[in-house]
C-alpha cells in the first residue's frame, strides 16, 4: 500500500506542481489503483508516471471545486479510448453525477466500460472483504468530504515449526490453512487454522482529507490513522486568511495529527505563493515543531504506508 502524488498545488497549476490528485496504489493487496480527486491535467501526470489507467478501480472525489474535478471528464474519456473495459466506480458528493454525465454527453465522449457513479453524504461508502472506506463532512466553502481507508486485519503467517509437528509439508494444504480452512491429516485427525497461524496482522488506516479548516470531521477521520494526508494551504502567519477561505495552515494540520494520534503526516495542497520545495520548508518546519513525523508531498513522490509494529516488534 503506497501513496503516489500526482498533484500537490492549490487552486491552479504551477511550473513545479499540478493541482490536486493522489493515487493509492494497492497492487499487492488487490492489484488495483484508487484515485483521490482528479484536478485538471491528472491524466497527463499519469502518463509521466508508472501508473496505468487499466488498474484504476475507484475514484473518490472530495468536492466539486475545479482544482479537484476538472481532470475527471478527460480521464474517463481517455480510459475508454485506450480500450479498457474493466468497470470503474466514482464516489463523490451530491452533484458529481450531473457533472460527469453532462460533461461526457455534451462532449460526445464514449465510455465503453461500466461506469458507476455513487453520490454520498458521508458514512460507509464502500466495503468488501479487504477494505472499508468511510467518509465524513469537512468544513469548506463547498460541500466537502474526507475519506478514511481501512484495511481489514490480515491472517497471521503460518507457524512453520507447528506445521512440522503435524507432519505437514509446503503445498496446497498450506494455502487452505492460510485461507482459514481446516485440513484432515493422512493418519486421521484435523489441523485447524488457529493451531498453526500466528497473530493476525493489523490492517492499516489511511486518511485523505479534502479542503478544510479545523473541524470535528478531521479528528473523526484521522483518529489512530497510520498515515494522514492533510491540506496545508498556508503557513501559520496567514491563519486568518486560511480561516477566511476555509483552509488550514501547516501548524493546524500538525495539531490535528497530534490530537488524532496518527503515525505519519503528509502535507499537501500548497498555495502558489510557495513556488518550490525550498519555499515550502518553513511550512514543514512549523509542522515538525508540533508533529515531528511530517513530510511534504511532492508531485510524483511515492510514500509507503508503514504498518505499525506490534508489542513484540514485528509488523
Burial class (CB in 10 A: 0-12, 13-18, 19+), 179: exposed
List phi, psi (to 5°) of 61. Answer: -100, 130
120 carries a ligand binding annotation:
no
67 carries a ligand binding annotation:
yes
Q: Is 226 noted as a catalytic residue in this protein?
A: no
- Kind and range of the H or E run holding 47: helix 42-47
65 carries a ligand binding annotation:
yes
16 carries a ligand binding annotation:
no
- Note whether 262 and 230 are within 8 A (CB): no
63 carries a ligand binding annotation:
yes
211 carries a ligand binding annotation:
yes
Which residues does residue 183 pair with via DSSP β-bridges, in sequence order? 191
Per annotation, catalytic residue among 67, 128, 226, 276? 67
DSSP 22-33: EEEEEHHHHSEE
Q: Which three cell numbers stand for residue 270?
A: 500548497
- Kind and range of the H or E run holding 145: strand 145-151
140 carries a ligand binding annotation:
yes
Q: Which residues line the annotated binding site?
A: 63, 65, 67-68, 140, 211, 269
Q: Which residues line the annotated binding site for Zn(2+)?
A: 63, 65, 67-68, 140, 211, 269
Any idea which residues carry the catalytic annotation? 67
Amino acid at each position: 500500500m503506497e501513496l503516489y502524488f500526482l498533484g500537490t498545488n492549490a487552486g491552479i497549476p504551477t511550473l513545479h506542481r499540478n493541482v490536486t490528485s493522489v493515487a493509492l496504489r494497492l497492487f499487492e493487496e488487490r492489484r488495483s489503483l484508487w484515485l483521490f480527486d482528479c484536478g485538471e491535467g491528472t491524466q497527463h501526470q499519469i502518463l509521466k508516471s508508472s501508473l496505468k489507467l487499466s488498474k484504476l478501480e475507484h475514484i473518490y472525489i472530495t468536492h466539486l471545486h475545479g482544482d479537484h474535478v476538472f481532470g475527471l471528464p478527460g480521464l474517463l474519456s481517455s480510459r475508454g479510448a485506450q480500450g479498457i473495459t474493466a468497470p470503474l466506480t466514482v464516489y463523490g458528493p451530491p452533484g458529481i453525477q450531473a457533472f460527469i454525465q453532462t460533461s461526457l454527453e455534451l462532449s460526445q465522449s464514449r465510455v465503453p466500460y461500466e461506469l458507476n457513479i455513487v453520490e454520498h453524504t458521508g458514512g460507509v461508502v464502500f466495503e468488501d472483504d479487504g477494505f472499508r472506506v468511510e467518509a465524513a463532512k469537512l468544513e469548506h466553502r463547498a460541500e466537502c468530504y474526507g475519506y478514511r481507508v481501512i484495511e481489514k486485519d490480515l491472517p497471521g503467517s503460518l507457524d512453520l515449526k507447528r506445521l512440522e509437528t503435524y507432519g505437514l509439508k509446503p503445498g496446497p494444504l498450506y494455502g487452505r490453512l492460510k485461507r482459514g480452512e481446516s485440513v484432515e491429516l493422512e493418519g486421521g485427525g484435523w489441523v485447524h487454522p488457529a493451531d498453526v497461524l500466528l497473530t493476525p496482522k493489523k490492517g492499516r488506516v489511511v486518511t485523505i482529507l479534502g479542503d478544510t479548516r479545523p473541524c470535528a470531521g478531521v479528528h473523526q477521520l484521522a483518529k489512530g490513522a497510520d498515515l494522514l494526508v492533510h491540506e496545508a494551504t498556508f503557513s501559520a502567519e496567514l491563519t486568518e486568511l486560511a480561516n477566511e477561505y476555509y483552509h488550514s495552515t501547516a501548524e493546524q494540520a500538525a495539531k490535528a495529527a497530534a490530537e488524532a494520534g496518527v503515525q505519519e503526516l503528509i502535507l499537501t495542497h500548497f498555495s502558489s505563493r510557495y513556488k518550490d520545495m525550498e519555499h515550502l520548508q518553513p511550512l514543514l518546519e512549523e509542522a515538525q515543531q508540533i508533529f515531528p513525523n511530517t513530510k511534504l508531498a511532492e508531485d510524483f513522490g511515492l510514500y509507503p504506508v508503514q504498518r505499525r509494529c506490534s508489542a513484540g516488534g514485528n509488523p
